Amino acid sequence: MEQRNATRLRVLEHIRTKGAVSRIDIASALQTSPATVTAATADLIAAGLIKEIESEAISAPGKRGRPRVLLQLDAKSYIVAGLKVARQGISVILVDFEGSETASYKHPLEKPRMSPSEFVASIRSALDETCAQIGRSAKDLAGVSIGVAGLVDANRNFVYWSSSITERNIDFSNLLSRHVPCPAFMDNDANLVAKAEQLFGLGKGLKTFLVVTVEHGVGLGIVLDGQLYRGKRGCGAEFGHTKVQLDGALCQCGQRGCLEAYVGDYALIREMAVTGQINEAMTVADIHDRAQSGDQRAASVLSRAGQIFGLGVSNLINLFDPECIIVSGTQKSFEHLCTDKVLARIRSGVVNVDAALPEIKVHHWGDLMWAKGAAAYGIEQVSILKVRELIANTP
């Protein structure tokens, strides 16, 4: 049964990445027989996960034979919520099964750090508020996925530590099942963005790639052979806290020399503060503006961040040798990390092989990147759930 499950999911996954594809093409792409695909797609249709495209006669002009029937995700079948908890508030997005947004909402938070029960209560009310927008209730959701900054063991909804939560080592399974009326999943926010790149973004169809997220901190999601790699204790991929300098700059985490302490938003603002030219709420966008209008010090702050970032990325390539590295961020605020000089730094740090460097792709998401990431993970988890149910009910 586990085997069958996996086959169904593989077919579903392939339909998702291809968008619309015929049974024959699935069979040849997955190196399996048409009979198996017929069986699998029949099940997936029964579960409401996919559907046949109505518009008949897609037969290529001048091509004989029975035309292929295209299959695609059944977008309207399920609604999934993605949440990202940040200090300013909770971003929520509702998406259909294809990942298209149907509603979004920003829930304010009184305090950036909450107890576990406050945390779950906030999630619940953010969820209710958003569902109300489309005249639905949280009960109607097929799943909810929650992204938090910090160290999370996603397999057991266990949070070692998060900047949003006052207590350490909390198992959220019970709290969530009590207070959220649908299946709920948690993970580290960078992992979720990696999931989004894999399902909908620049990682579509790739097997082995890394997603680096840049914003306040620097995060990493590792996808190896199509799977998110999480490490033994569920707390790997802490790229932002790899050390780039012995006893270097002080980081938020309390340690010294972390990459994040040179590249994260707060690090840049801290540097600008040293120059004395800082006002209350300076942002990285402001630093960009200054640099562009000729401020040498601002330019130098950005440039050094880029060099350190490039060093870090070259280390990732040296260790993982991935197909591709995707740099993802919400705004245009990380342009300084994608310059030719940064690329040169990366190149000069990667061990020299006569094979092309892994492609480095840049993805500028909008504000909802993190929430969309959570939604992507939610869609994947719901798929797994539905397939499991389906087979459990097949006698």
Contacts to DNA by CB under 7 A: 1-4, 6-7, 22-24, 32-36, 38-42, 56-57, 59, 62-69, 391
Kindly tell me which of 56 and 247 has the beta carbon lying closer to a second copy: 247
Report the partner that residue 281 touches, choosing among DNA, a second copy, none (CB closer than 5 to 8 A by kind).
none
Interface with a second copy, residue 198, by CB under 8 A: no
Report the partner that residue 35 touches, choosing among DNA, a second copy, none (CB closer than 5 to 8 A by kind).
DNA
Q: In terms of Cα–Cα distance, which of 164, 175, 187, 173 is closest to 235?
A: 187
Report the partner that residue 322 touches, choosing among DNA, a second copy, none (CB closer than 5 to 8 A by kind).
a second copy
Amino acid occupying residue 38: T
Q: In terms of Cα–Cα distance, which of 360, 335, 210, 351 is closest to 285?
A: 335
Site stretch for a second copy (CB under 8 A), options 68-76, 88-96, 187-195, 223-231: 223-231
Report the partner that residue 246 touches, choosing among DNA, a second copy, none (CB closer than 5 to 8 A by kind).
a second copy
Binding residue for a second copy (CB under 8 A) from 315, 330, 331, 339?
315
What is the enclosing helix (H) or strand (E) of 148? strand 143-148
Interface with a second copy, residue 245, by CB under 8 A: yes
Binding residue for a second copy (CB under 8 A) from 41, 162, 164, 307?
307
Interface with a second copy, residue 321, by CB under 8 A: yes
Q: How do beta strands 209-214 and 359-364 pair?
A: unpaired
Assess contact for 351 and 387: CB atoms under 8 A: no
Amino acid occupying residue 331: Q
- Show the binding pattern over residues 252-271: x = contacts a second copy (CB under 8 A), - = does not: -xxx-x--------------
Distance CA 389, CA 46 (A): 11
Distance CA 155, CA 232 (A): 11
- Show the binding pattern over residues 147-166: x = contacts a second copy (CB under 8 A), - = does not: ----x--------xx-----
Q: Minimum distance from CB of 60 to DNA (Å)?
A: 9
Is 186 strand, coil or helix?
Answer: strand
Distance CA 82, CA 310 (A): 31
Kindly tell me which of 66 and 232 has the beta carbon lying closer to a second copy: 232
Interface with a second copy, residue 220, by CB under 8 A: yes
Assess contact for 99 and 200: CB atoms under 8 A: yes
Kindly tell me which of 281 and 355 has the beta carbon lying closer to a second copy: 355
Q: In terms of Cα–Cα distance, which of 169, 156, 175, 307 is closest to 230?
A: 156
In 282-368, which residue ranges form alpha helices assigned H by DSSP? 284-292, 296-320, 340-349
Interface with a second copy, residue 333, by CB under 8 A: no
Binding residue for a second copy (CB under 8 A) from 190, 223, 237, 298?
237
Q: Tell me which DSSP letter residue 385 carries.
A: H
- Measured in whole angstroms, the distance separating CA 290 from the mean position of its chain's CA atoms is 31
Q: Minimum distance from CB of 394 to DNA (Å)?
A: 8
Distance CA 309, CA 307 (A): 5
Q: Report the interface residues with a second copy, using CB under 8 A.
A: 151, 160-161, 168-169, 208, 220, 222, 224, 229-239, 241-246, 253-255, 257, 307-308, 311, 314-316, 318-323, 348-349, 351-355, 358
